[in-house]
Structure 1
Amino acid sequence: MTQNPDPNPDPAPTSFETRVEQAWAHWKKLGRPKYIVAPMVDNSELPFRLLCQKYGAQAAYTPMLHSRIFTETEKYRNQEFTTCEEDRPLFVQFCANDPDTLLEAAKRVEPYCDYVDINLGCPQRIAKRGNYGAFLMDNLPLVKSLVEKLVQNLTVPVSCKIRIFPNLQDTLNYAKMLEEAGCSLLAVHGRTRDEKDGKKFRADWGAIKEVKNALRIPVLANGNVRCIEDVDECIKETGVEGVLSAETLLENPAAFAGFRTAEWAKEEGYVDGGLDQGDLVVEYLKLCEKHPVPWRMIRSHVHKMLGDWFRVHPQVREEFNAQNVLTFEFLYGLVDQLKELGGRVPLYKKRKIDTPQESSP
């Protein structure tokens, strides 16, 4: 007896070759962004993303969102994930250890982003307690199931952000497994999960290069970026499509536009760029008034961006730290106070070298 065909058959699985083609087509559609704001808990929120975008960033990640809390708590969703029309291209990043919960969270943001990203790189103690981030490197079958669950059920591509293993071959096997599971883009932080201190441990660009050479999907690099020249050097050395920056942008959201902080003040060829971190704080605060975010995020950004100024005027830093309840009026006044005290700390740019013009005959 002939059986009737299933009226709602599962779609045929997409071939690996087709997935690779689709991954590149999507990346090209987004304009092949090279300068990318990395995911930062409490720090890569909408106003900061928009500020970085004004100064050269071509794409950005949201802060890491906890998939279970995101699905269960409306207040968490409303506070931790905000976006707007100009906030693209956008990666929305989740941490997770349950495929169904991750999918439920991802479905809520699917219409508002260009990638749903899985955090596989957080090395902090809270990630170990919660069994997510870089600690899923101990359970690769679970990692594979997270990726496959999203790939099979979302209309937007799935990306992943990882750290490297101490052993290169383990890293390559890991990256290939993610690619085969359907990951469309891989961001590689070139440090192990035990190398938490970015100032103490240099990111391994060599390992990132090996991952790039082993995969067929777009690859991004993360680590060792202090200025725009570092981005260009990283791309040249590793062959990646783009570079993520985190700590550098917190101090200087204009880094992707070629501005450098005070540490380059005495370097030959660098001049006052006509912009300072006080100016950037004011721009950031105006964006926060338009796109409200929790005050803890604002406090963190002001502290980071005005760090050089606070070192010159520690009494103003003490006044800021003593302010339990922040207001925009207080923060605008704080910037005015720093400017009135003098000792302005500008951002620096390379001096433009005039090209000699040939004289007319």
Structure 2
Amino acid sequence: MNTQDELPHSLIPEPRRRNDPLQLLLNGKTTTIAGPMVRYSKLPFRQLVRDYNTDIVYSPMILAREFVRNSNARLFDFSTNYKDTPLVVQVGVNNVTDLLKFVEMVAPYVDAIGINCGCPIREQVREGIGCALIYNEELLIDMVHAVKRKYGDKLRLETKIRIHDDLQRTLKLCLNLCSVGVDWLTIHGRTKVTRSSQPVKLDAIKFLTTGIHEKYPDKPVVANGDCFHLDDVKRIQEYTGVQGVMAVRGILANPALFAGYDKCPWSCIERFWYYAIEFGGLPYQLIQHHLFCMLENMNISKDLIKEMMNAKSLPQLLDWFDDHFYLKRYTDSNFGETEEIPYR
């Protein structure tokens, strides 16, 4: 297959400066990771978190069945550039055929593929995607085996799973995935029905990490859940023994989380504006909601945030920022360096 005929021309970047995420996870330091977020972890946001000490970044989950069949899906679901590395593209998939076709199409542009085995959304589970896969162990193992048999170490493959109530079942699944060549595992320490408001089960992640490393000491494990501050990275790593820590909700609100900022610095606002306009491809409502998440984390007054959310277009939103703040542009001195909110 000619991949360049299948993907939009804009997705064909300069030669990639490839970075192996597995080597990052094996370098003896705790690897910081921005996890996949439906809609939100697109190229502008990925570039933003890379500016603030994030080692590995994931794309949003892409549905394989749509991507491999629909050119519009390929156009809107995935974009990258030569600086977007190391990049893990996460896929939602429920069969080997679609997975192999998907991997063939995106492999030249990514550093790893991640199979989503953790999404608890009912519609996805009903389709056999996300969390459904940890209850369909044979299919999941077959999919991992098929990719690794074809690509070997030329392409890294990860699985992001939730836990079963029976942790022995989860450990057996993890060991079987290791046996067919998965490069690393990400473990979200909640079950399919555990609400995000309930604490993540670090004891479960510790138990599984220990069990994996006893048999496969070279297989890194990443912990996911309840990482909201840089201190959480150290706390989670030291307690569980994992090689990497993933943030999702925390880094959406504070893209500078891994750089040690307790709240989102103003520099993130300026940089996000630049990347969103420079790279394009984000719907207006998504840009607005990214800014909402960051401003809310900065403790901007609710009245001001409500005003911002009343803006109906990108020009109106930009005017609102200029009316209330000193928003520097890319060519301005000290662009993207201010920490405090520069009110007018």
Measured after TM superposition, the shift of residue 297 of structure 1 is 2.7
C-alpha distance 31-90 of structure 1, shift in aligned 2 (>3 A): farther
Q: Deviations over 1:275-308 (max 9, x none)?
A: 734x322210111122112214322211211225
Q: Secondary structure at the match of 2:198?
A: coil
User: Structure 1 length normalisation: TM-score?
Assistant: 0.78
Q: 2:118 aligns with which of 97, 118, 121?
A: 121
Q: 1:302 aligns with which of 262, 271, 291?
A: 291
Aligned length: 301
Q: Deviations over 1:47-76 (max 9, x none)?
A: 111111101101111000000111111222
Q: Deviations over 1:71-92 (max 9, x none)?
A: 1112221222111111111111
**Corresponding residue for 1:92?**
89
Aligned counterparts, 1:7-26, within 5 A: none
**Corresponding residue for 1:164?**
163
**Corresponding residue for 1:259?**
261
**Corresponding residue for 1:213?**
210
Q: 1:336 aligns with which of 293, 306, 322?
A: 322
Q: 2:278 aligns with which of 265, 276, 290?
A: 290
1:323 matched to 2:296: no
Measured after TM superposition, the shift of residue 311 of structure 1 is 5.6
Measured after TM superposition, the shift of residue 335 of structure 1 is 2.5
Task: Check the 8 A contact 2:55/2:86 in 1, yes or no.
Answer: yes
Q: Deviations over 1:301-338 (max 9, x none)?
A: 11211225676142x433333334x21x3333333334
Measured after TM superposition, the shift of residue 191 of structure 1 is 0.6
**Corresponding residue for 1:267?**
none
Aligned counterparts, 1:196-211, within 5 A: 197-198=195-196, 200-211=197-208
Q: Deviations over 1:95-124 (max 9, x none)?
A: 100111111011111111121110000011
* Structure 2 segments unaligned to the other structure (5+ residues): 1-19, 327-337
C-alpha distance 285-83 of structure 1, shift in aligned 2 (>3 A): same
Task: Check the 8 A contact 1:98/1:146 in 2, yes or no.
Answer: yes
Aligned counterparts, 1:99-118, within 5 A: 99-118=96-115
Structure 2 CA distance for aligned equivalents of residues 238 and 29 of structure 1: 18
Q: 1:242 aligns with which of 224, 232, 244?
A: 244
Q: Secondary structure at the match of 2:103?
A: helix
Percentage of pairs with the same residue: 29
1:181 matched to 2:167: no
Q: 1:138 aligns with which of 131, 135, 140?
A: 135
Structure 2 CA distance for aligned equivalents of residues 191 and 331 of structure 1: 38
Task: Check the 8 A contact 1:100/1:149 in 2, yes or no.
Answer: no
Q: Deviations over 1:203-235 (max 9, x none)?
A: 111111122122221110101211111101111
User: Structure 2 length normalisation: TM-score?
Assistant: 0.81
Structure 1 CA distance for aligned equivalents of residues 26 and 140 of structure 2: 29
CA RMSD of aligned residues (A): 2.2
Q: 2:144 aligns with which of 144, 147, 162?
A: 147
What amino acid is the match of 1:51?
A: L
Q: 1:78 aligns with which of 75, 79, 100?
A: 75
Larger Rg: 1
* Structure 1 segments unaligned to the other structure (5+ residues): 1-24, 262-274, 348-361
